[in-house]
Amino acid sequence: AQSVTQPDIHITVSEGASLELRCNYSYGATPYLFWYVQSPGQGLQLLLKYFSGDTLVQGIKGFEAEFKRSQSSFNLRKPSVHWSDAAEYFCAVAQLNSGNTPLVFGKGTRLSVIA
């Protein structure tokens, strides 16, 4: 079955440091990949998405992600983290002709930012 794995449940980084959140997917065809962010007490907001073409995707708030087919990965990066980036981050994969799970989410990575 198709799945998304976010290996890190919780990550803590210092403000100004670089960030990389990992995401691995299991899907036979070319996937549609997404990163969403959830601030405390709020719904999810799209950061970026990949369908095809350039494997390095730029998103909002200075985030980027790189699709690596050989590694089945879509890791999220930011060169310099701000305190306001503290949130939960979800990777998701869209499945065409998918039956009852059109969008599958990973379990999330909680990001804490320290001074």
- The DSSP letter of residue 79 is S
- The only residue of 28, 40, 96, 115 in contact with another protein, by rule CB under 8 A: 96
Return the range that interacts with another protein (CB under 8 A); candidates 55-63, 65-73, 74-82, 87-95. 87-95
The dihedral of CA 81, 84, 86, 89: what is its sign? negative
User: Is residue 94 a contact point for another protein (CB under 8 A)?
Assistant: yes
Contact residues for another protein, defined by CB under 8 A:
32, 34, 36, 41-46, 49, 51, 90, 94-96, 98, 100-103, 105-108
